[in-house]
Amino acid sequence: MPPLVSANERNLDPNALRVLITGFGPFGRYKENPSSLAVRPLHNTILYTEPPAELIPTDQATMITDEMEELLRRPQQIHITTLELPVTYQAVLGAVPGFHILNGYDFVFHVGVAGRGPLRIERVGHKNGYRMKDAAGEYAPIVHLPKDPIEESESDLSREMRMLIGPPLSGSGPEGSQEVMDIPSPPNRGFGKGYEQFADELSTDVDVPKLIVHLKENGIDQVYSSMDAGHYLCDFIFYCSMAESKRSMAPQEKFKERSTPTKSTPVLFMHCPPVDQPLSTEQVTEAIQKIVLWVCGKMHHP
């Protein structure tokens, strides 16, 4: 990879693609989160997309002029901003909407730590099922799901049967009375108010299988894709970011004068392992750079 170039007023292109990369802060046994260690060196740096080897128009009837070819072959500047977020549900809910509504990034890339093993690029974020406490000891918001009519009728039937049978019998012996009690299930937690219009699962717009092939062809062997982001803060921020990306496009649809159709900002999440288990921080940082270049290259040279 080329050496990192720091951005300043002299070399920053006002038309540069703007990329946000987030890592998580300390939690549990991690006094320094491996995700932030890998993301931090990229803050306020510049990358450049590589021009395509061949210029193939999407419309075969379209002629590529010399001016068009020069423009297409011109490297696109990418300006990277990084941010560390606390490992809490409220921090995610408070920060992520602003990434998409206020800042207008061209690509939002979240990184978090998982167990020992390869890099894991997630494809799906989940709306519900968050049962674990965050680093502050707090749970995700309670979400009341619509009741299943079948389950509800079965529950009514159970109550009627208990009324017919009567109260449970008292046991004898040293244990004393034994009663059969209903144990309430834990409440569902996740995204409720404000997220009603979004599906239970959201998938990234990034073509992850093609990205995996590209990474393996370019020296990143320890990587695979995943359909389960874990139902913890990593999954939570991934779903939240994809939902907010889709939400941020709604107001723009009102502007009919836009010459090209708008698209939601691509969002991606990657799990990295603990340091040197087996990848070093530098190797994870290199993988992040290559992912940013590939995703942004697809924007500049679709």
How far apart are alpha carbons 296 and 51 in whole angstroms? Answer: 12
- pLDDT band for 60, please (50, 70, 90 cuts): low
β-bridge pairing 107-113 and 267-272: parallel
Determine the average pLDDT of the residues in 94-123: 95
Higher pLDDT, residue 250 or 128: 128
pLDDT, tens digit, 9 for 90 and up, residues 181-215:
667 788 999 999 999 999 999 999 999 999 999 99
Element (H, E) at 68: helix 66-73
**CATH architecture observed for domain 5-147+183-255+263-300:** 3-Layer(aba) Sandwich (3.40)
User: What pLDDT shows up at residue 153?
Assistant: 45
Among the residue ranges 80-89, 139-148, 237-246, 247-256, the one predicted with the least confidence is 247-256
How far apart are alpha carbons 284 and 265 in whole angstroms? Answer: 23
Q: Is 218 a residue whose pLDDT tops 80? A: yes
3-state class (DSSP) for residue 214 = helix
User: What pLDDT shows up at residue 100?
Assistant: 93
What size, in residues, is the chain? 302
pLDDT, tens digit, 9 for 90 and up, residues 3-51:
667 766 567 888 899 999 999 999 999 999 999 999 999 999 999 997 6
- pLDDT band for 271, please (50, 70, 90 cuts): very high
- pLDDT band for 252, please (50, 70, 90 cuts): very low
User: What pLDDT shows up at residue 8?
Assistant: 66
- Provide, rounded to the nearest whole percent, the portion of the chain with pLDDT above 70: 72
Q: Is 163 a residue whose pLDDT tops 70? A: no
Per-domain residue ranges for the chain?
5-147+183-255+263-300
Burial 187-216 (b: 16+ CB within 10 A, else e): ebbbbbeebeebeeebebbbebeebbebbe
- Provide, rounded to the nearest whole percent, the portion of the chain with pLDDT above 90: 63
Task: Using a cut of 0.75, tell me whether the model's pTM lies above it.
Answer: yes
Q: How many CB atoms within 10 Å of residue 8?
A: 9
The chain-wide mean pLDDT, for the chain, equals: 83
Determine the average pLDDT of the residues in 84-88: 98
